[in-house]
Structures are given as structure tokens and as C-alpha cells.
Amino acid sequence: MKRAVLLYNPQAGKGEIERNIPHIIRIFNDVEYDLTPIRLMFDRNPFDGWEDVDLAVVAGGDGTINYVVNALMTKGLSVALAVIP
């Protein structure tokens, strides 16, 4: 099974994403991804300790996506990226 992280901003979408995490995990499990949800903390790199993931799923708006892409670049990682708006 491939490893993935769900990086989400709990403020985005009026908290809708946080309520749907179990459903999102099941969807990714069905396609052979072990998805770990990680609530973003904007004062640290969300990839610390997760440098070997196969996929990063980002849930949030433009600012969240920008933050995650910059975090990837800071680490020098080349990881597939999926977005849940």
C-alpha cells in the first residue's frame, strides 16, 4: 500500500473537511493508499517526518495550497499532489 498524507486547514470550508476525514480516508484506502490526516500548523513544515510519502492531498484554499507547495520545495521533495478545494 502506498503512503499518503491529507494536509488540511481546519479553518477552510467552515470545518467541512474535518467532518469528512473518515470518508476521505476510506476513499483513498479503496485505491490502495494509506492516508494519514495531518492538521496544518502554519509555523512548521508539514513534511517533517513525512519525506517518503507517495502522495500529498491538500484540503483548503489558495493560501493552504501555496503553503504546502512551498513546504514541498523547501524540503526538495517531488511528490504527487492532489487538491480537495
Asked whether 14 and 63 are in contact (CB, 8 A), the reply is no
Query: Can you give the pTM of this predicted structure?
Result: 0.92
Instruction: Note the pLDDT tens digit of each residue in 22-53.
Output: 999 999 999 999 999 999 999 999 999 999 99
pLDDT of residue 85: 83
Instruction: Note the pLDDT tens digit of each residue in 60-81.
Output: 989 999 999 999 999 999 999 9
Sheet arrangement for strand 2-8: 33-39, 2-8, 55-59, 80-84
Can you tell me the distance from the alpha carbon of 60 to that of 54, in angstroms, rounded to the nearest whole number?
20
pLDDT of residue 10: 86
Number of C-alpha atoms within 13 angstroms, CB side, residue 50? 24
Can you tell me the distance from the alpha carbon of 60 to that of 85, in angstroms, rounded to the nearest whole number?
6
